Amino acid sequence: MASKRILTVDDAESVRSLVSRTLAQAGYDIVEAVDGADALDKVAGGVDLVITDINMPGMGGLELLGRLRQRPETRFTPILVLTTESQSDMRQRAVAAGASGWIVKPFEPGSLVALVRRFLSR
């Protein structure tokens, strides 16, 4: 069986690198994007899950969530938000835009892998 393909979207190279390394070690195929616009280009190849930041220059995570939910090929793709935002109103906005789950930075690598596995096993 082919490994699951995950798109990670964050303007911080260090965060993308940490997420990518963590999930690649768990056996996933990783694609990286620097913002929402880059993510929309890269999701065209098909992904099984998206992990996105909220606050990014250009197209941020909330707009990306909305656009991914409008596309037939990503309408039901799990989308996890990985952000420093912890306010409940921001979380509610993300859920309303289409987020499937929420992780606050900094994150524990094991917790990230467990959450990804949970969403990909559905």
Q: What is the pLDDT of residue 43?
A: 94
Sign of the CA dihedral with 5 first, then 9, 102, and 71 last: negative
Q: For residues 110 and 39, what is the distance between their CA atoms, to the nearest angstrom? A: 25
pTM of the model: 0.95
Identify the bridge partners of residue 31 per DSSP, sorted by sequence position.
Answer: 7
Helices (H), 43-87: 61-70
Q: What is the pLDDT of residue 86?
A: 79
What domains, with CATH codes, occur in the chain?
5-120 (3.40.50.2300)
The predicted pLDDT at position 62 comes to 95
pLDDT beneath 70: ranges in the chain: 1-2
Tokens of 64: 């990306």
- Among left, alpha and beta (phi > 0; psi -120 to 50; other), residue 98 is left
Residue whose entry in the numeric block shows the structure tokens 């409940």: 88
